[in-house]
Amino acid sequence: MFTKILIANRGEIACRVIATAKKMGIKTVAVYSEADRDARHVLLADEAVLLGPAPSRESYLVADKIIAAAKQTGAQAIHPGYGFLSENAEFSRRVEDEGLIFIGPKHYSIAAMGDKIESKKLAGKAGVNCIPGVNDAIETAEKAVEIARGIGYPVMIKASAGGGGKGLRVAFNDKEALEGFTSCRNEARNSFGDDRVFIEKFVEEPRHIEIQLIGDSHGNVLYLNERECSIQRRHQKVIEEAPSPFISDATRKAMGEQAVALAKAVKYQSAGTVEFVVGKDQSFYFLEMNTRLQVEHPVTECITGLDLVELMILVAAGEQLPLAQKDVQRNGWAIECRINAEDPFRSFLPSTGRLVRFQPPQETMWQADTEHLQGVRVDTGVLDGGEIPMFYDSMIAKLIVHGKDRMDAIAKMREALNGFVIRGISSNIPFQAALLAHPKFVAGDFNTGFIAENYGKGFSAADVPHDDADFLVALAAYQHRKFRARASGISGQLAGHEVEIGEQYVVIALGVDGENVRSTVTVTDFNGDSGSSLVTVGGKSYQICSASRLGAMRLSGSCNGQPFTAQVERGMGKNPLVIRVSHNGTQLDAMVLTPRAAELHALMPFKAPPDMSRYVLSPMPGLLVDVAVQPGQKIQAGERVAVIEAMKMENVLFAVADGVVGKVLAAKGDSLTVDQPIVEFE
Q: Write out pLDDT tens, residues 479-519.
A: 999 988 888 888 898 888 888 888 999 999 988 777 889 99
More reliable by pLDDT, 18 or 611: 18
pLDDT band at 573 (very low <50, low <70, confident <90, very high): low
Looking at residue 665, which CATH number applies to its domain?
2.40.50.100
Query: Does 577 map to a domain?
Result: yes
For residues 401-416, average pLDDT: 97
Phi/psi at 391 (5° precision): -85, -15
Q: 221 and 330: one domain?
A: yes
pLDDT at 551: 86
Q: 143 and 193: one domain?
A: yes
Q: 299 and 185: one domain?
A: no
Query: Does 407 map to a domain?
Result: yes
**What positions carry a catalytic annotation?**
288
Query: Does 109 map to a domain?
Result: no
pLDDT band at 194 (very low <50, low <70, confident <90, very high): confident
Q: 324 and 403: one domain?
A: yes
pLDDT band at 62 (very low <50, low <70, confident <90, very high): very high
Nearest alpha-carbon partner for 370 in 20, 81, 41 = 20
Query: Does 608 map to a domain?
Result: no
pLDDT at 45: 98
Contact 214, 672 (CB under 8 A): no
pLDDT at 528: 62
Phi/psi at 256 (5° precision): -60, -45
For residues 104-116, average pLDDT: 88
pLDDT at 164: 66
Looking at residue 240, which CATH number applies to its domain?
3.30.470.20
Q: How far is CA 510 from CA 514, 518, 572, 580, 599, in A?
A: 7, 9, 12, 10, 15
For residues 203-226, average pLDDT: 94
Q: 11 and 142: one domain?
A: no
Number of H helices, E strands in the chain: 17, 39
Count of other CB atoms within 10 angstroms of residue 24: 17
Choice among 278-282, 538-542, 678-682 with the minimum mean pLDDT = 278-282
pLDDT band at 610 (very low <50, low <70, confident <90, very high): confident
Most confident residue range from 13-22, 165-174, 466-475, 568-577: 13-22
Q: 510 and 649: one domain?
A: no
Looking at residue 583, which CATH number applies to its domain?
3.30.700.30
Burial 50-68 (b: 16+ CB within 10 A, else e): ebbebbbeebbbbbebbbe
Choice among 307-321, 342-356, 578-592 with the minimum mean pLDDT = 342-356
pTM score: 0.84
| Percent of the chain with pLDDT strictly greater than 70 | 99
Q: 277 and 396: one domain?
A: yes
Residue-wise pLDDT for 229-265, tens only, equals 999 998 889 999 999 999 999 999 999 999 999 999 8
Q: 244 and 137: one domain?
A: no
Cβ-Cβ contacts under 8 Å for 103 (sequence gap 6 or more): 5, 77, 78, 79, 80, 270, 312, 313, 316
Residue-wise pLDDT for 132-164, tens only, equals 777 788 999 999 999 999 988 989 898 888 766
Q: How far is CA 537 from CA 464, 475, 519, 583, in A?
A: 21, 10, 7, 17
Please name the helix (run of DSSP H) or strand (run of DSSP E) that holds residue 486, with its range, or none.
helix 469-488
Query: Does 113 map to a domain?
Result: no
Dist. CA 319–CA 618, nearest whole Å: 53
pLDDT band at 471 (very low <50, low <70, confident <90, very high): very high
For residues 415-443, average pLDDT: 95
Dist. CA 87–CA 80, nearest whole Å: 8
Dist. CA 217–CA 313, nearest whole Å: 12
Containing structural domain, residue 649: 615-681
Q: CA torsion angle for 446, 449, 450, 454 (degrees, to 10)?
A: -140
- Residue 647 pLDDT more than 80? no
Q: 61 and 27: one domain?
A: yes
Angle at 289 between CA 283 and CA 293, to 5 degrees: 120
- Residue 115 pLDDT more than 80? no
Contact 629, 679 (CB under 8 A): yes
| Percent of the chain with pLDDT strictly greater than 90 | 69
pLDDT at 633: 93
What is the gyration radius of the CA atoms in the chain, in angstroms? 27
**Ramachandran bin of 300, using left for φ above 0, alpha for ψ from -120 to 50, beta for the remaining angles:** alpha
Q: 674 and 644: one domain?
A: yes
Domain boundary among 420, 450, 480: 450
- Residue 320 pLDDT more than 80? yes
Q: What's the chain's average pLDDT?
A: 91
Domain boundary among 578, 601, 624: 601
Q: 80 and 158: one domain?
A: no
Query: Does 357 map to a domain?
Result: yes
Choice among 64-78, 274-288, 363-377, 553-567 with the minimum mean pLDDT = 274-288
Dist. CA 97–CA 220, nearest whole Å: 25
Cβ-Cβ contacts under 8 Å for 530 (sequence gap 6 or more): 482, 485
Question: Domain total for the chain?
Answer: 5
- Residue 529 pLDDT more than 70? no
Domain boundary among 201, 220, 255: 201
Helix intervals (H) in 317-369: none
Looking at residue 39, which CATH number applies to its domain?
3.40.50.20
Burial 84-119 (b: 16+ CB within 10 A, else e): bbbbbbebbbbbeeeebbbbbbbbebbbbbbbbbeb
Q: 37 and 92: one domain?
A: yes
- Residue 214 pLDDT more than 80? yes
Query: Does 640 map to a domain?
Result: yes
- Residue 285 pLDDT more than 70? yes
pLDDT at 591: 94
Nearest alpha-carbon partner for 68 in 94, 33, 41 = 94
Residue-wise pLDDT for 323-376, tens only, equals 999 999 999 999 999 999 999 988 888 888 889 999 999 999 999 999 999 999
Query: Does 143 map to a domain?
Result: yes
- Residue 322 pLDDT more than 70? yes
